[in-house]
C-alpha cells in the first residue's frame, strides 16, 4: 500500500514508519519541520512533504495518491491543544475524502465507562472528539484507543519511570494519592505497532472504534511496583491519601521528573478515571488483525524490554527530553591556543600529588563527591603515580574509559546516592589549536540522589569551571615554554 503517516516524528510514528517499510509499504510523511525527519535512519526511504497537520490544503495534497492514512497527532503541548487537535482532525477528514483515501487509522486514548464521561478529563475528551470527527467523515476509520503505552519515550511511561525512581528511594511508608488505586490497562509499544499496521488492511465495512491493551489490568500503584521490581528498586508500603489536586500534582511531577508541566497536567488529570478495555474489542481485533506474535505482551515484560532498550521499546533519536533514566549534566568548554597533545599531557597528570587544577584549600573535585555522599569521605589514592588505565583508581574516582590523546571517563568510586561520572575530551581544531570539553554527569538514585545533586550543584559549577580554565591555561603555558626552550631552537 501507499501510506501517509501524519505525526511521523513523534513517539509512535518514528517507530511505526520502519515497521511499515519492513512490511513492504511505500511511506509518505507530512512534517511541519522536515529537518526532524532527517535524524532517523529511515529518512531516505520515505517521501517527505512539508506542511502543518491543521492545514486543509496541505493535507489534501499529502493524501493525493495514497491508499491509507495513519493519524498520530496529539498536540498536548500547552493551552489550546484541543482546538489544534480538532482542526487537524477536520483537515484530515476533508483532505482524505477529497483525495479518495480508502482507510484512516487513528491512535487515540482509552475512554472511561459511560457513567464517568461527565467528569472526563480534557485530555481524554480531546482524544474522543478527534475519533468522532474522523468517524463522521465518508472514509472508513479504525479508531484505536490505547491507555498507557509502555516503552522508552512514551510520556506516560516516562512519568511512571521517574516517579518510581524518586518514590522508591524514599521512606519505608509512601503516601500516595488515592487515585493511584484506579485501574488501567497498559499496552506494550510493540503490540500497538502490530495493531496499527494490521488495521491498514481492514475490510472497508469496518468503520468503528476499538479499545487496545495488554493482558494485565493493574492499578497505577501496581504499575509503579511492577516497574520497581524490574528495575531492582526497593518497594515501600503504599499509604493511600484522599487527595485531588491535579495542578499541584502536575507541578510536583514537573519538579521531580523531566516531564514538562504542560504535559504532566493532562496526564495527571486522566488518572482520576479507570481506563480498562472492552474485552469484546480485543476479541474482535484478534479476529480481524490477529494477535501480536506470541500473544499480547505482559506489563512487566514490556517494562523489561524498555529498560533493556530492546527494539521499538528502546530509545529513539527524536524522543523528547527526559527520556530514559534521569541524568543531570553540566559542561565546561575552553578553546586552547595549544595543540591537542599538549592538553592531553596535562590531563595525564590529574590526581595524586598533582591535584585537579582547581582552587586549592577552598573547593576540590573530590570535595564535590563529599557533598554528594552527605559527609567527608576517606581519601583514596592509587598505589604509586596515577596511570590512565581502565580500572585504575584516581583518588576517589575509577578510570572507566580511556581513548589516549582524546577522551578520559572517570566514575566515582565513592558510595553515593547515584552514579557520578567526569568526562574530559580534547580535539584538534587546527594545527596548533584545540578545544577542551569537560562534562560532569550524575544519575541520581531516588529522592536522596536528587536532593544531593541540588545541594552539590552551586559548588560543583564553581569547582569544575575553575578546573577547565586552569587545566587549559596550564597546557597553554607549558606549550609556550616548550616553544621557547633552547632545545627547540
pLDDT in tens, 440-460: 999 888 777 888 888 888 888
Cell numbers found for residue 346? 596535562
C-alpha dist (Å) from residue 308 to 19, 66, 188, 324: 20, 37, 14, 11
Q: Report, as an integer, the average pLDDT of 100-104.
A: 97
CA angle 176, 419, 388 (to 5 degrees): 175
DSSP character for 161?
A: H
| Res 171 pLDDT > 60 | no
pLDDT of residue 370: 75
Find the DSSP H helices in 116-154.
Answer: 122-135
| Res 114 pLDDT > 70 | no
Higher pLDDT, 266 or 433: 433
| Res 116 pLDDT > 60 | no
Q: 306-325, pLDDT tens digit by residue?
A: 999 999 999 898 887 668 88
pLDDT of residue 362: 45
Q: Report, as an integer, the average pLDDT of 277-290.
A: 96
C-alpha dist (Å) from residue 212 to 179, 215, 283, 286, 303: 22, 10, 10, 10, 18
Q: Report, as an integer, the average pLDDT of 387-396.
A: 86
pLDDT of residue 417: 85
Tell me the pLDDT of the chain averaged across its residues.
87
Q: Report, as an integer, the average pLDDT of 58-85.
A: 89
Q: 200-212, pLDDT tens digit by residue?
A: 999 999 999 999 9
Q: Identify the three-state secondary structure at position 275.
A: strand
Q: What is the rounded CA–CA span in Å between residue 354 and residue 348? A: 10
| Res 360 pLDDT > 80 | no
Minimum mean pLDDT range among 33-47, 174-188, 284-298: 174-188
Q: Report, as an integer, the average pLDDT of 180-196.
A: 94
Contacts of 128 (CB under 8 A, 6+ apart): 108, 109, 111, 120
Helices 56-63 and 81-99: crossing angle in degrees, nearest 10, is 40
DSSP character for 175?
A: E
Residue 103 — very low, low, confident or very high, per pLDDT cuts 50/70/90?
Answer: very high
Residue 259 — very low, low, confident or very high, per pLDDT cuts 50/70/90?
Answer: low
CA angle 203, 206, 209 (to 5 degrees): 140
Minimum mean pLDDT range among 105-114, 351-360, 425-434: 351-360
Higher pLDDT, 162 or 382: 162
CB 358 within 8 A of CB 463: yes
Residue 160 — very low, low, confident or very high, per pLDDT cuts 50/70/90?
Answer: confident
Residue 196 — very low, low, confident or very high, per pLDDT cuts 50/70/90?
Answer: very high
pTM recorded for the entire structure: 0.80
Q: Is 295 left (phi over 0), alpha (psi -120 to 50) or beta?
A: left
Residues linked to residue 364 through DSSP beta bridges, in sequence order: none
C-alpha dist (Å) from residue 342 to 69, 345, 433: 58, 5, 10
Cell numbers found for residue 322? 527526559
DSSP character for 382?
A: -
Q: Report, as an integer, the average pLDDT of 255-275.
A: 72
Amino acid at each position: 500500500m501507499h501510506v501517509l503517516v501524519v505525526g511521523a516524528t513523534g513517539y509512535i510514528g518514528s517507530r511505526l514508519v520502519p515497521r511499515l517499510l519492513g512490511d513492504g509499504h511505500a511511506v509518505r510523511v507530512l512534517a511541519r519541520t522536515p529537518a526532524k525527519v532527517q535524524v532517523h535512519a529511515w529518512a531516505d526511504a520515505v517521501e517527505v512533504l512539508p506542511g502543518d497537520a491543521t492545514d486543509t490544503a496541505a493535507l489534501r495534497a499529502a493524501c493525493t495518491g495514497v491508499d491509507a492514512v495513519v493519524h498520530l497527532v496529539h498536540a498536548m503541548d500547552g493551552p489550546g491543544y484541543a482546538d489544534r487537535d480538532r482542526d487537524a482532525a477536520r483537515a484530515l477528514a476533508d483532505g482524505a475524502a477529497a483525495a479518495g483515501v480508502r482507510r484512516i487509522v487513528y491512535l487515540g486514548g482509552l475512554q472511561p465507562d459511560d457513567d464517568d464521561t461527565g467528569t472526563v478529563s480534557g485530555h481524554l475528551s480531546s482524544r474522543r472528539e478527534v475519533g468522532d470527527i474522523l468517524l463522521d467523515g465518508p472514509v472508513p476509520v479504525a479508531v484505536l484507543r490505547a491507555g498507557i503505552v509502555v516503552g522508552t519515550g512514551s510520556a506516560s511511561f516516562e512519568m511512571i519511570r521517574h516517579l518510581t525512581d524518586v518514590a522508591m528511594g524514599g521512606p519505608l511508608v509512601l503516601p500516595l494519592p488515592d487515585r493511584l488505586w484506579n485501574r488501567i490497562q497498559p499496552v506494550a509499544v510493540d503490540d500497538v505497532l502490530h495493531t496499527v499496521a494490521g488495521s491498514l488492511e481492514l475490510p472497508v465495512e469496518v468503520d468503528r472504534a476499538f479499545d487496545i491493551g495488554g493482558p494485565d489490568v493493574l492499578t497505577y500503584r501496581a504499575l509503579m511496583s511492577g516497574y520497581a521490581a524490574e528495575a531492582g528498586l526497593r518497594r515501600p508500603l503504599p499509604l493511600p491519601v484522599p487527595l485531588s489536586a491535579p495542578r499541584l500534582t502536575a507541578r510536583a511531577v514537573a519538579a521531580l521528573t523531566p516531564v514538562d508541566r504542560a504535559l504532566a497536567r493532562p496526564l495527571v488529570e486522566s488518572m482520576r478515571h479507570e481506563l480498562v478495555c472492552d474485552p469484546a474489542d480485543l476479541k474482535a481485533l484478534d479476529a480481524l488483525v490477529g494477535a501480536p506474535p506470541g500473544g499480547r505482551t505482559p506489563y512487566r515484560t514490556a517494562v523489561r524490554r524498555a529498560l533493556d532498550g530492546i527494539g521499538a521499546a528502546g530509545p529513539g533519536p527524536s524522543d523528547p527530553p527526559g527520556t530514559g533514566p534521569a541524568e543531570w549534566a553540566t559542561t565546561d568548554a575552553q578553546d586552547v591556543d595549544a595543540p591537542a597533545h599538549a592538553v592531553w599531557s596535562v590531563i595525564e597528570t590529574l590526581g595524586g600529588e598533582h591535584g585537579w587544577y582547581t582552587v586549592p584549600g577552598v573547593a576540590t573535585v573530590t570535595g564535590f563527591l563529599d557533598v554528594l555522599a552527605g559527609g567527608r569521605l576517606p581519601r583514596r589514592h592509587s598505589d604509586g603515580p596515577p596511570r590512565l588505565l581502565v580500572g585504575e583508581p584516581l583518588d576517589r574516582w575509577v578510570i572507566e574509559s580511556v581513548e589516549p590523546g582524546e577522551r578520559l571517563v572517570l566514575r566515582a568510586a565513592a558510595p553515593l546516592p547515584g552514579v557520578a561520572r567526569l568526562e574530559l575530551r580534547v580535539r584538534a581544531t587546527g594545527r596548533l589549536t584545540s578545544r577542551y570539553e569537560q562534562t560532569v554527569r550524575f544519575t541520581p538514585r531516588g529522592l536522596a540522589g536528587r536532593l544531593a545533586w541540588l545541594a552539590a550543584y552551586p559548588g560543583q559549577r564553581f569547582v569544575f569551571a575553575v578546573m577547565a580554565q586552569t587545566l587549559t591555561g596550564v597546557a597553554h603555558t607549558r606549550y609556550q615554554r616548550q616553544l621557547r626552550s633552547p632545545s627547540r631552537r
